[in-house]
Each structure stands twice: as C-alpha cells, then as structure tokens.
Structure 1
Amino acid sequence: MPNLGGGAKCAACEKTAYHAEEIQCNGRSFHKTCFICMSCRKGLDSTTVAAHESEIYCKSCYGKKYGPKGYGYGQGAGALNSDPPRHVGLQPHNSKPRPASSNSNDSKSSPKFGCSDRCPRCSKAVYAAEKMMSAGKPWHKTCFRCVLCGKGLESTTVTDKDGELYCKVCYAKHFGPKGFGLGNAAMLE
C-alpha cells in the first residue's frame, strides 16, 4: 500500500504515523498509542522506555527480561534482592580462613553482570539508564535526594559533603556560617 500521507510507518502496527501523532525511538516511528511495553502493555515515554534491538519495554520489564540473572537476583533486575545470601555450614570462628580463589563468589571481588557501580545510598547496582554522578560516585535517580529533607536533587542543586548529598538549603543551614543575620539567631547573653 503506498504511503501517500507523508508519514513514516509505525514500527508496531505498520500503519502510517503522521507527524502530529508520531514518537521516534532508535530511529523508528511509533503512534503515541502504539508506544507501549511489549510485555506489560503499559504506555511509555522518553523517560520510561528501554529499547532492545527492535523491541521496546518499560524499564521494569526490560530489567526482568535482560537484567542480571542468578542466585539472589530473583527474576532479574525488577526483583533484585539486596540481602546477603544465607550460607549453610559456615566455618567455625576458631578454624583457619580458606584462601581466596580466583573464582570466588564474593560479591565485592569483581564486577558482576557488566555492572560494577553500586549506589552509596541503597548499595544496589546502578545501570547507565538510571545513573546520576555526584561526589565521585554513581547514584540511582531515586536515591539522588538530600539526606536531610529528602528533596529530589539535580546537578545544579546538589551539594556534597563527606560522601553524602544535600540540597543547597540544608547544606547552608547545617554547614554554612552561623550568627546574627545569617539565618540562625545569635545566642545573646
């Protein structure tokens, strides 16, 4: 069927997606109504889409399908378990420690599943799609908050001290100059 209207074909339904109803992702066009997760059918936008080859998913379904797998990871990144695995038959305290082997399963030894970055706030893996950098460390977007008031931060509003994140207001209240006229009343005798 010829494409007479001038729009591109929708990658999902293969009908013409005119410019007013078109969303583009990875060089492919979609109708706004066709821009949905291939697994759960939830509507997507530029902040929630995760593309894999010619397929589009919400970040949760993408993590479940293509995220890390293995012991302690449940059904993938959508069900990560941050609790340390329980070991049966641990060595008694008075026995000599075993020498470390090169194929140890210790979670701190080497990066696993292509992700070596851990969020300092929640200690879970930080992937590129959700990474925010501050204080020389990677943070999840959801963990990128002021430690005191919980306000969400951006690169222009974040201040760090001793590895923790603060909004500019909380930082000024707790670490800024003190005295009369500076937001904190001076103690008068």
Structure 2
Amino acid sequence: MHALKMTYHVQCFKCAACKTPIRNQAFYMEEGEPYCEKDYEKMFGTKCHGCDFKIDAGDRFLEALGYSWHDTCFVCALCQINLEGKTFYSKKDKPLCKGHAFAPV
C-alpha cells in the first residue's frame, strides 16, 4: 500500500496507538505518527461539554468555563437560551443567563 509518500506492506502500516493495521481506512497524523480514527479521536479529539459529541474541523465552537462547546450547545442550563456572545454566569460549572443567575432559589 502507498501512504505518506512511502510504500508499506499492508500489515506494516499500523496505528501508533493500538498497532492495528490501518489498511484502506481513514487515518490521522499527529507528530509524524499515523492513528486510526478511533484512537485519534480518543487521544487528540475535542468533545463538546454540552452534547458530548466531537467538535469537527470547521465546526463553530467556543471555549468557556474551562470546556469546549459547539456554539449551539452553549446555553443557559435552566432555560436553554443560547449564550454565545452574551454575558453569562456560572454556578457549579453550568452556564446561566442573567435572569437565572440572580433568581431566588
């Protein structure tokens, strides 16, 4: 097989993490090493704190409260209003709109 401008035996072109031959599957490079999609996502991928799905290249996302979020997932934990670009507050690591941040408990 041909990959990275080189020729390999099919069984020799392996994921740097799990050592499984990559064969004709998608792979990703990190620091000069090939990784299968599963291991790459597990080791280097970014997940959205709101929905727990991966944030793909090209996705709109933001970082807040020490986490990464899809722009559509960064919402008030109580009323679900989108908080992207708005003033927000945090209680117990959950984003809140101004109305809910100061509402009596």
Partner residue, 1:162: 92
- CA shift digits 1:80-100 (9 cap, x unpaired): xxxxxxxxxxxxxxxxxxxxx
Question: Pairwise mapping of residues 19-168 of structure 1 onto structure 2 (< 5 A)?
Answer: 102-103=17-18, 105=38, 109-111=42-44, 116-127=45-56, 128-168=58-98
**Which protein is bigger by CA-based radius of gyration?**
1
User: More strand by proportion, 1 or 2?
Assistant: 2
Amino acid at match of 1:123: D
The percent identity for this pair of structures is 25
User: Which whole-Å CA distance do the structure 2 matches of 1:117 and 1:107 have between them?
Assistant: 10
Amino acid at match of 1:110: M
Structure 2 alignment gaps of length 5 or more: 1-15, 20-37
Cα distance 1:120–1:106, how it changes in 2: closer, same or farther (>3 A)?
Answer: same
User: Which whole-Å CA distance do the structure 1 matches of 2:104 and 2:53 have between them?
Assistant: 28
TM-score of the superposed pair, with normalisation by structure 1: 0.32
Shift of 1:151: 0.9
Shift of 1:106: 6.0
Cα distance 1:103–1:155, how it changes in 2: closer, same or farther (>3 A)?
Answer: same
Structure 1 alignment gaps of length 5 or more: 1-100, 176-189
Shift of 1:136: 1.4
SS at match of 2:99: helix
Higher relative contact order (CA 8 A, sep 6+): 2
User: Which whole-Å CA distance do the structure 1 matches of 2:48 and 2:60 have between them?
Assistant: 11
> In angstroms, what is the RMSD of aligned CA positions?
2.5
